[in-house]
Amino acid sequence: MKTGFDPRMVRQDFPFFSSREQPYHYLDNAATAQMHAAAFEAMHRHDLENRANVMRGNHRLAERATTAYESARQVVARFINAAHASEIVFTGGTTAAINLVAASLGSQWKPGDEVVVSQAEHHSNLLPWQALQARGIVLRVLPLQVDGCLETEALATLIGPRCKLVAVTHASNVTGAVTDVAAVVAAARQVGAWVLLDGAQRVQHGPLDVQALGCDFYAFSGHKCFGPSGIGVLWGQAAWLDRMPPFLRGGGMVGRVEPDQADWAPAPRRFEAGTPPITQAVGLAAVLEALMQWDWDAVHAHEAALQQLLLQGLQALPGLRLLGPVDGTARLPLASFSLAELHPHDLCQVLDGQGVAVRGGHHCAQPLMAHFGVEASVRASLACYNDRSDVDALLAGLVHAREVLA
């Protein structure tokens, strides 16, 4: 049963806010969201009562740890509506998940095979594919519309018969624009190509349905969705994971090992070499369980209202340039912008002095910055626990910063 969502009460589930003596307006959620109390409690309890390694132990602690770890896999599968828990691979984060797919699939491709990415990608969904060029893999780049959204109409001509995979963001970490996944998947299927979605930004905004999305791979990070850092998830269709060779090699991902050869364990174990992030998996599962009890229609309505306040407030400031779509259609509640001739880093420092945390820089998306003709921007990103006071503090802080820095 859904327990509902009350924006006035949700901060009680995030210890960060009760630990502050003075109000602090945290608007850097696209980089790292604050951690839910359920994750803290679950990790503490696990390490206190069941700390042991998984898979290969015969004592009771090892059995409990293994059960907790595999139970976490099942929770993640439910959160994203995977067909089976065996499709869930635990990694170190989104970056590690994408590198896994790139290295594994890339080892099977031939010179002249193609990968399509977009100019809007975070570096984590660009550099692993760039590396394959050394093996003769061709990288093709999907252009952008003026507002930074993917030019999906160009897919028909960009995706050719040698295309093996299309790797794009589910939602931009700079503009907040949500990708038209259906258009991407349809174009890829015309030539039998696979689709990988970088879901790092989308995941904190509610449960997903990877089967409905129609993609083949989905990657996200725990620290983006109110969970611990140091853990990520790669979901892949079982049929594809079973055909992929491992990326890392070591203990726990093999069947039998001889001096000169080894047999790989079935997925997902073949992709989880060494000791996995056990405690982090337990913490991630706990917070995802909590999130699945929320009334996400109410959450989305709350975030949409804050987004409207943010966009309207920013656009009302003289000299401010908003990067990305100017309305709230098909976008997440975040905004990147520049203000007159003021450097983003200077703006961030002044805002921090006013108790407002935002991020300044190229946001690991330099090709997208180049599209907008800027080196860097300020980014304010909202989450479920933000409220109107956070938006008001940001807008007031920007007025103050312009007075101080002008």
- The count of C-alpha atoms lying within 13 angstroms of the C-alpha of 19, restricted to the half-sphere facing its C-beta, is 7
Asked if 364 is an active-site residue, the reply is yes
Please tell me the distance from the alpha carbon of residue 265 to that of residue 38, in angstroms, as a whole number. 32
* C-beta separation of 167 from 196 below 8 A: yes
The b-or-e profile of 329-355 (16+ CB within 10 A means b, else e) is eebbbbbbbbbeebebeebbebbeeee
Secondary structure of residue 191 in the 3-state scheme: coil
The helix or strand, by DSSP H or E, that contains position 241, with its residue range, turns out to be helix 238-241
Residue with tokens 């590396």: 131
Which residues are registered as beta bridge partners of 221? 232
Of residues 163, 215, 348, 364, which has the active-site annotation? 364
Phi, psi (degrees; rounded to nearest 5) at 156: -60, -35
- The count of C-alpha atoms lying within 13 angstroms of the C-alpha of 25, restricted to the half-sphere facing its C-beta, is 23
- The one-character DSSP state at 222 is G
Residues 6+ apart with CB under 8 A from 68: 46, 50, 278, 281, 282
Please tell me the distance from the alpha carbon of residue 360 to that of residue 385, in angstroms, as a whole number. 22
Residue with tokens 């503490």: 44
- Say which amino acid occupies 24: Y
Sign of CA dihedral 98, 101, 102, 103: positive
Annotated catalytic residues are 364
